[in-house]
């Protein structure tokens, strides 16, 4: 019951790791406050979308990461 309908595609796992990397950019790259806040918010949103999309029922939610990727660009 707990793991039914949930799997871990490598693309969503990679998105989760990239979201975690974005949250650590101030430590790794020394970003300053305007970009610093954007990286934190965006990293949290990417992780939230990727983990939510790991469920089979809401798999199309993963396309929201395209919009979040445009925000990074």
Count of helix runs (H) and strand runs (E) in the chain:
4, 0
Are 32 and 6 within 8 A, CB to CB? no
pLDDT of residue 1: 57
pLDDT in tens, the chain (73 residues): 566 788 888 999 999 999 999 889 888 888 888 778 888 899 999 999 999 999 888 888 989 989 988 988 8
- 55, β-bridge pairs: 6
CB atoms under 10 Å from CB of 7, counted, come to: 10
pLDDT score recorded for residue 32? 81
Report the 3 state secondary structure along 34-60: HHHHHHHHHHHHHHHHHHHHCECCCHH
Q: Name the residue ranges covered by the structural domains of the chain.
A: 10-72
Amino acid 47: pLDDT: 94
């Amino acid at each position: 019951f707990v793991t039914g309908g949930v799997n871990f595609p490598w693309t969503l796992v990679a998105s989760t790791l990239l979201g975690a990397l974005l949250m650590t950019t101030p430590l790794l790259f020394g970003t300053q406050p305007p970009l610093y806040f954007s990286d934190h918010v965006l990293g949290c949103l990417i992780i939230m979308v990727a983990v939510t999309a790991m469920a089979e029922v809401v798999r199309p939610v993963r396309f929201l990461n395209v919009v979040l990727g445009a925000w990074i660009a």
